Structure 1
Amino acid sequence: MTDYLQAVFDMLGPAESRYADPAAWLRLEQELGRELPTDYKAFVDAYAPVQLNGHLYLSSHPACAWRELGEEIRSTSKVWAESRWESHDLEPDEDPRVICNRPQITFGTPDGLIPLASTDQGAAIFLAPEVHGFPDGVVVRGEEGEWAGHPMTFAEWLYRYLIGEEMTGWDSATSYPGPIRLEYLPTGPGEHTREVYGPELGM
């Protein structure tokens, strides 16, 4: 059985773990009223705030005052709660209520969608209470307004994204030759984005 988190770490190279802090995660989870997946927390501790291959943002960490994950979750959830996403004409397989087996969708709540990541092309990646019966699966709202459920862990979703599968909406599969580019985002005044590359991919 594939250890997807380790596979992602192998693709990205040594972790910097700039903000790893179990107490910060505990505070955030108490605020959210639910635990976040262990693999997601391990990845964020290892690399965030970061942008991968120029598109995928995991731009916050609960222990980073300048890019605080709790504040990002609150503000993003508020935007989605006030949006009119339900007004789109959605087929059942594209309706997050069907995907998550919930009569209504909420954002940032213990039984709702928790924003985890985003892309510069407009896709939003959420943790869902369940996806087609799979607990703590991933739901993505693509840039065209379509929703897709991925009944898998965050680490598997991220691995499949990084190897070029269609994980952020219709026609989103993108294969990048060479090692993965990591852009470590500024986390304080006077800092600049720092670019590094993972090891050569054996794929």
Structure 2
Amino acid sequence: MGTFEDLKNLLGEPRFLWSDPTPWTELEDELGVRFPADFRTFSDAYGPVLINNQVDIGHPAAALGNLGRTIRRTIEAWSGAPEDEVPYPVGSAPGELLPWGGSSSGETIFFHVPEEGDQQWTIGVYEHDEGTYHEYAMTFNEWMLSYLRGQDMTVCSRNYAPQGPFFTPIS
């Protein structure tokens, strides 16, 4: 199991440190979902950020790296994709794939929105070069921790962070 403290130990102290829940509430109301708490905690701490010069994660209060804008654009981009590209529709309804990040190596990273409220959110990664989708029955913290430790989570950090994990704020 991965915790936020485990992530901080690898990445270093966050700098964004957002505390107002209003942008999250507005985005969640618009999308009709409640993001996983561990994702919100990470995004509130690190803000819009580029991890290992590879994985980008937004925040709903940011002008650059705005999570809501990224989600809307990504959903729109996937609206015309062939149905066999990913195993579920891209959107924010139960059972759909909700985009939350991307990578400089050409992957789109999703949450698979649970069908039932008590089910665990999972992480899905679509690899554009290969045209394949991989799903991980992990929390955000577990997936990110595995990625930061250099495990191949469809997105692999070894080539991007040979000296170890790091982050760059998007501002």
> Smaller-chain TM-score range?
0.7 to 0.9
Structural mapping, 1:64-83, within 5 Å: 64-83=62-81
Aligned to 2:158: 174
Matches for 1:11-50 after TM superposition, within 5 Å: 11-50=10-49
1:158-169 pair list within 5 angstroms: 158-168=144-154
Of 7-16 and 105-114, deviating more is 105-114
Q: TM-score, normalised by structure 2?
A: 0.86
How far does the alpha carbon of each residue in 1:102-124 deviate from its partner, in whole angstroms, 9 at most, with x for none?
xxx22222221111111101111
2-side partners of 1:57 and 1:67: how far apart? 8
The residue that corresponds to 2:140 in the other structure is 154
Aligned residues of 2:51 and 2:165 also touching (Cα < 8 A): yes
What amino acid is aligned across from residue 56 of structure 2 in structure 1? Y
**Aligned residue type for 2:50:** Q
What are the equivalent positions in structure 2 for 1:1-203 lying under 5 Å apart? 2-58=1-57, 60-84=58-82, 86=84, 96-97=86-87, 105-111=88-94, 112-130=96-114, 135-143=120-128, 144-168=130-154, 172=156, 174=158, 176-186=161-171
Give how far 1:173 is off. Answer: 6.3
Deviating runs (4+, > 6 A) in structure 1?
Answer: none
Alpha-carbon distance in structure 2 between the residues aligned to 1:66 and 1:183 = 13
Please give the alpha-carbon distance, in whole angstroms, between the structure 2 residues aligned to 1:160 and 1:31.
Answer: 31
**For the pair shown, which has the larger CA radius of gyration, 1 or 2?**
1
* Alpha-carbon shift at residue 142 of structure 1 (Å): 1.3
Distance verdict in 2 for CA 1:173–1:55, change over 3 Å: closer
Distance 1:136 1:3 in 2: 15
SS in 2 for 1:114: strand
How many percent identity over aligned positions?
30
Measure how far apart 1:82 and its partner are. 1.4
Return 5+ residue gaps in structure 1 as ranges. 89-95, 98-104, 187-203
Superposition deviation, residue 130 in structure 1:
4.2
Q: How many angstroms does 1:18 deviate by? A: 4.8
- Relative to structure 1, the CA distance from residue 178 to residue 79 in structure 2 (aligned partners, 3 Å threshold; closer, same or farther) is same
* Corresponding pairs, count: 166
1:178 CA displacement: 3.1
Alpha carbons 1:56, 1:118 under 8 Å: kept: yes
**How much has 1:80 moved relative to structure 2?**
0.9
The amino acid of 1:148's aligned partner reads H
